[in-house]
Amino acid sequence: MVEQHDPAHAGVKAGRVVGLLTALLVVISLFRVQESFVGRLVSLIELTGIDPGPSVTVYFYLYVGGAALGRYALCYIVGSLIGVVYDWLDDPPVAVLAGIALLAGLIDGAAAAGDTRSILIGLGYVLAWLCYVPVFFWLFEDGDRGIRRFEER
């Protein structure tokens, strides 16, 4: 059974925080293009001869919800893996954890910036992943020593 004070558990919770932040960014970025998204979908459906009606708007909201849920799940998993790597490296310095989170953020941010054509959204993803580090150390309890703080690193 997984102990409640292991790094993977703290990584899951920190990943959830990142997941919420990036899900918010997904929602913002999709609502920025809602009109063009719905317009293209309506055009595509009309080509088939079907009247799209209000179902296209419902589809858009379902798409936004699915994208936000997907972001949350991805960050949940990656956050857990970062916690496992932290444990595998046997208690490395904060800079190592920050480097791993920054790498995840840069990859995620580059993909988001390319997808949304917005550097600000990409930077938002990087900053969201950097939030992983303080949340991780706030949640991580190291056995007998209790909750770890930055000052102890």
pLDDT at 19: 96
pLDDT of residue 8: 87
pLDDT values of the chain reduced to their tens digit, one per residue, 153 residues = 445 568 888 999 999 999 999 999 999 999 988 888 888 888 888 888 887 778 888 889 999 999 999 999 999 999 999 999 999 998 889 999 999 999 999 999 999 999 888 999 999 999 999 999 999 998 886 555 555 555 555
Which candidate, 106, 109, 104, places its Cα nearest to that of 121?
A: 109
- Would you state the pLDDT for residue 90? 87
pLDDT of 145: 53
Contact (CB, 8 A) for 81 and 101:
no
Inter-residue contact 83 to 17 (CB < 8 Å)? no
pLDDT of res. 72: 96
